[in-house]
């Protein structure tokens, strides 16, 4: 009899494992499995640890803090510009912090699940846009805790633009050259002209985000 889990179970486990670790982890799970239930239990223990390990490898805490502050300032600026009463409302800063937290979590997970073998010009833009989409979905379910729509729209547009710019200037860890005992990427940064390739990527990100923001405003 053929040992190992059913194909559908292994496929689901593969979807949950970050691509950079998928082949090795699936091979280990298959070798250790004595049956379907044993495979599921082993996967339930191993996959969260693999995800956490991948997040630690792909997330620079200093850059993540910069992105979080940038997103929070973006939504705060939108509140100052369009709904100042929100700033003195109960739990106003908690409400302003919810979308940035959602966007930051989405970017961290997107980097963890990013395939380092696949490179494309708009890749830095994907994670912020995904985070903004999730933030809109979360805000729709918050009811009384949700931000006013105009604050959410403008804060999302400004935040996505700023977060994408930061990701172009400070690429995710998985997209950088790695070296043992090397200082953090941001510690090695020097004030140099942006490479021509990054100029095109930044221009493309700005154009796409402006189109998205224009569409949102026209349909609000």
**pLDDT at residue number 144:** 81
Q: 36-53 burial, b for 16+ CB within 10 Å, e for fewer?
A: eeebbebbeebbeebbee
**Cβ distance 121 to 201 under 8 Å?**
yes
The 10s digit of each residue's pLDDT in 61-109 is 888 888 999 999 999 989 988 888 888 888 888 999 999 999 999 999 9
Residue 91, sorted as left (phi over 0), alpha (psi -120 to 50) or beta, turns out to be: left
- Cα(151)–Cα(143) distance, rounded to whole angstroms? 15
**pLDDT at residue number 206:** 60
Q: Is 182 helix (H, G, I), strand (E, B) or coil?
A: coil
């Amino acid at each position: 009899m053929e040992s190992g889990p059913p194909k559908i179970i292994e496929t689901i486990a593969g979807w949950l494992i970050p691509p950079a670790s998928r082949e090795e982890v699936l091979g280990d799970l298959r070798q250790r499995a004595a049956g379907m239930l044993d495979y599921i239990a082993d996967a339930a223990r191993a996959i969260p640890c693999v995800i956490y390990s991948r997040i630690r490898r792909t997330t620079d805490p200093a850059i993540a803090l910069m992105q979080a502050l940038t997103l929070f300032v973006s939504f705060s600026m939108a509140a100052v510009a369009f709904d100042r009463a929100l700033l003195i409302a109960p739990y106003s800063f908690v409400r302003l912090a919810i979308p940035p937290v959602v966007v930051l979590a989405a970017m961290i997970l997107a980097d963890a699940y990013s395939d380092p073998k696949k490179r494309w010009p708009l890749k830095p833009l994907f994670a912020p846009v995904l985070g903004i989409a999730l933030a809109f979905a979360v805000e729709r379910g918050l009811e009384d805790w949700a931000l006013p729509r105009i604050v959410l729209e403008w804060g999302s547009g400004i935040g996505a633009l700023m977060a994408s710019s930061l990701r172009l200037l400070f690429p995710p860890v998985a997209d950088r050259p790695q070296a043992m005992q090397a200082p953090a990427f941001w510690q090695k940064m020097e004030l140099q002209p942006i490479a021509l390739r990054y100029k095109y990527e930044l221009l493309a990100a700005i154009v796409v985000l402006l189109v998205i923001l224009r569409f949102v405003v026209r349909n609000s």
